[in-house]
Amino acid sequence: MVDDLLSYVLPEFEEGRQEGRQEGRRALLRQLALQEFGPKGLAELSPVLDQPSDPDRDGALARAIIECETVAELVARSRKL
């Protein structure tokens, strides 16, 4: 009975952990974009930042936010990720 419960609960728990991590990465990317490009730039970048992602893409986006000079440059670079 305990095994049945665990087999049901553990996958749900792990899925919740993954979603929490992804939300945390998105929040960090938003803060970084706000710092680099201001509120208007963040608004322009929302479609890019709201796309489904994974840790590798999020890391590449963070580097791009730091390295790109303009929002347009960042959007163009994000299309290659």
pLDDT tens digits along 13-43: 788 788 888 899 999 999 999 999 999 999 9
> Higher pLDDT residue, 7 or 55?
55
Query: What is this structure's pTM?
Result: 0.81
pLDDT tens digits along 44-77: 999 999 998 899 999 999 999 999 999 999 999 9
Measured in degrees and rounded to the nearest 5, phi and psi for residue 51 equal -70, 150
Burial class (CB in 10 A: 0-12, 13-18, 19+), 70: exposed
